[in-house]
Amino acid sequence: MSEDAWRSAGERIDTLVDSIGVGGAVARERAEQLVREVVDLYGEGLARILRMSDAAAVERLVHDDLVASLLLVHDIHPHDTRTRIRTALDGVRPYLGSHGGDVELIDVVDSVVQLRLTGSCKTCPSSSVTLELAVTDAVRSAAPETTGIEVETPAAEDKSLFSPESLMSRVHTTAGGSAPEHTWVSMPELDELADGSVGGFEVAGLPILVCRLGTTLYAYRDRCAHCTETMAGARLGRVAATNSVALTCPICHSHYDVRAAGAALDHSEHHLDPLPILVRGGVPSVATPIGSPS
């Protein structure tokens, strides 16, 4: 079963149960009972696997997204909520770092996750995407039992409280306008990208550039913010004046700081369009706007 297939399995099961319900209340009750019996059976099997596994094997199991999600369904995950959230946030730090920021778990109170954004994440042009696609996706996947997220930024006294379900509309309103929905696309080919190299790809019809610095991947829409032309053929290099690693446009030679979410080094008003890139289920995945022009 593919990554996308198992992630949407719950929705398909709900649809099938609903369709059986057309046959009447008795048919629906029997279908729901069948699902419960199967779920309970597999839950007991998973619990026994955990009991028979050593600590190292358990850690390998809980780091697999599919296995972890099943352990959560059966309430037998060996890690508590805070541990799971901290581990998930560790996975999004490379992306937040590309925005010059970080995220810290303050606490979980009454099923509400309290987070603090630090650095320049709070002022980055794509901070709403950072919240919506990186932080929230990580928290929701790691701790589906939580009911809300409270975000605190050092530069503001006020806090915003919202449920994961309403986050999209909130961040769009806060940003002053609507923004396109996004979808995660698995790109295992990114694992083959060498350190210090740049690759051009097309994902969901959108041309993108992906570069690797060490173990960290950075993704951007393939469009120079200064000349608006493609950056196909762009190279990575260090700019001595700022000691930054920059992507250089092959046409207008504008420089963009890779680690600072594509901030221009030559034209302060310009900025590349960064795309969230995270490892999901052990596979690099890029979040791209749905229906956006290429």
Q: Let me know how long the chain is.
A: 294
Contact predicate 270/226, CB 8 Å:
yes
Confidence of residue 155 (pLDDT cuts 50, 70, 90): low
Which tokens hold the place of 36?
A: 């419960």
pLDDT digits (tens, 9 = 90+) for 100-109: 677 889 999 9
Helices 9-21, 25-52: inter-axial angle, 10-degree rounding:
150
> 3-state SS of the chain?
CCHHHHHCHHHHHHHHHHHHHCCCHHHHHHHHHHHHHHHHHHHHHHHHHHHHCCHHHHHHHHCCHHHHHHHHHCCCCCCCHHHHHHHHHHHHHHHHHCECEEEEEEEEECCEEEEEEEECHHHCCCHHHHHHHHHHHHHHHHCCCCCEEEEECCCCCCCEEECHHHHHHHHHHHCCCCCCCEEEEECHHHHHCCCCCEEEEEECCEEEEEEEECCEEEEEECCCCCCCCCCCCCEEEEECCCCEEEEECCCCCCEEECCECCEECCCCCCECCEECEEEECCEEEEEEECCCCC
What is the structure's pLDDT at 119? 67
Which tokens hold the place of 277?
A: 């890139």
What is the average per-residue pLDDT within 115-135?
62
184-289: which CATH architecture? 3-layer Sandwich (2.102)
How deeply is 95 buried, as exposed, middle or buried, from its count of CB atoms within 10 A (0-12, 13-18, 19+)?
Answer: buried
Tell me the one-letter amino acid at 49.
I
What is the structure's pLDDT at 2? 59
Say how far apart CA 264 and CA 99 lie, in whole Å: 13
> Does domain 81-179 match CATH 3.30.300.130?
yes
Domain boundaries, the chain: 3-73, 81-179, 184-289
Q: To the nearest 10°, the Cα dihedral for 144, 50, 91, 184?
A: -60
**Bigger pLDDT: 29 or 123?**
29
- b (16+ CB within 10 A) / e for 194-211: eeeebbebebbebebbbb
What is the average per-residue pLDDT within 97-121?
79
Confidence of residue 230 (pLDDT cuts 50, 70, 90): very high
Contact predicate 167/136, CB 8 Å:
yes
Say how far apart CA 193 and CA 227 lie, in whole Å: 27
Closest CA to 224 of 216, 215, 233: 233
Alpha-carbon separation of residue 72 from 15, 38, 53 (angstroms): 22, 16, 18
The per-residue pLDDT of the chain, averaged, comes to 77
Which tokens hold the place of 194?
A: 């060498």
Confidence of residue 239 (pLDDT cuts 50, 70, 90): confident
**Bigger pLDDT: 192 or 152?**
192
Alpha-carbon separation of residue 291 from 130, 192, 202, 204 (angstroms): 19, 28, 14, 9
